[in-house]
Amino acid sequence: MIALLKGRIEEIGDGWAVVDVGGVGYLIFCSARTLGRLGQGEAATVYVETHVREDHIHLYGFLEPSEREWFKLLTTVQGVGAKVALAILSVLSGDEITHAVASGDKAQVARANGVGPKLAARIVSELKDKVAALALGPAVGAKGAKVATLVAGGASSATRDATSALVNLGYSPSDALSAVSHVANKLGEGADVGQLIKGGLAELGPHSGEHR
């Protein structure tokens, strides 16, 4: 299985590029965001997700490992194939997907071609808990619960730190990230960790015992 290609960009088209590796051209399908960073004739290192089917082998290319991880995560949702996942990654960065899912912003997800209101709602619903865990990175929540890791490109540092703090206070990752995301959207990019924690606590309200 091909996982990485290092070579020269031979050609770029609508949704695809050809990478020349030692005289062999590999056709890779990419998001518009990735294609916009490639230059014809330039050297490139492309991370690849290989899909093998009975009638074809398709290579999907990404310039960052995090984009590949988001692609894999998105395609776990029923109704989201490779084409739709690339469409979402064409209009939203990993950080934007995190905030959209955490805050339940279906309209943001529905900006992608091929994503209607029902599919956007399903994506937000099915990924809420997964994205909350992934966005935190290698953190340990209350009761020693291990939080999964996503390679760089999930939530911003301030959002991740504030969410981790709330998780350690006993809130679930999904509730904590949702609250912090709402506050981050209100305060803008300049919000620091302290402001996000304070605002997140106000959003969540007092609690007693373990949150699910």
Sign of CA dihedral 183, 188, 193, 198: negative
Each residue's pLDDT, cut to its tens digit, for the chain (212 residues) gives 899 999 999 999 999 999 999 999 999 999 999 999 999 999 999 999 999 988 889 999 999 998 998 999 999 999 999 999 999 999 998 878 888 888 888 999 999 999 999 999 999 999 987 776 665 555 434 333 333 333 334 456 788 788 888 888 888 877 888 888 888 878 877 788 888 888 889 888 765 444 44
Q: Are 21 and 10 in contact (CB under 8 A)?
A: no
The token pair that represents 4 in the structure block: 């990485």
* Amino acid 163: pLDDT: 83
Q: Are residues 153 and 194 in the same domain?
A: yes
Q: Are residues 17 and 113 in the same domain?
A: no
Query: Quick check: is 90 in a domain?
Result: yes
Query: Quick check: is 131 in a domain?
Result: yes
Q: Are residues 81 and 57 in the same domain?
A: no
Q: Are residues 174 and 81 in the same domain?
A: yes
Query: Quick check: is 211 in a domain?
Result: no
Q: Are residues 52 and 18 in the same domain?
A: yes
Counted domains in the chain? 2
* Amino acid 152: pLDDT: 35
Domain limit, last residue, from 42, 63, 84 = 63
Q: Are residues 43 and 86 in the same domain?
A: no
Its domain, for residue 145, covers: 66-204
Domain limit, last residue, from 32, 48, 63 = 63
- For residues 67 and 154, give the distance between their C-alpha atoms in angstroms, rounded to a whole number: 10
Q: Are residues 53 and 73 in the same domain?
A: no
Query: Quick check: is 210 in a domain?
Result: no
- For residues 189 and 177, give the distance between their C-alpha atoms in angstroms, rounded to a whole number: 16
Q: Are residues 172 and 187 in the same domain?
A: yes
Kindly report the CATH number assigned to the domain that includes residue 151.
1.10.150.20
Kindly report the CATH number assigned to the domain that includes residue 20.
2.40.50.140
Query: Quick check: is 209 in a domain?
Result: no
* Amino acid 137: pLDDT: 55
Q: What is the DSSP string of 129-188?
A: HHHHHHHH-S-B-GGGPBPP---S-SS-HHHHHHHHHHHHTT--HHHHHHHHHHHHHHH-
Strand ranges in the chain using DSSP code E only, listed in sequence order: 4-12, 16-21, 24-29, 43-52, 57-62
Q: Are residues 34 and 110 in the same domain?
A: no
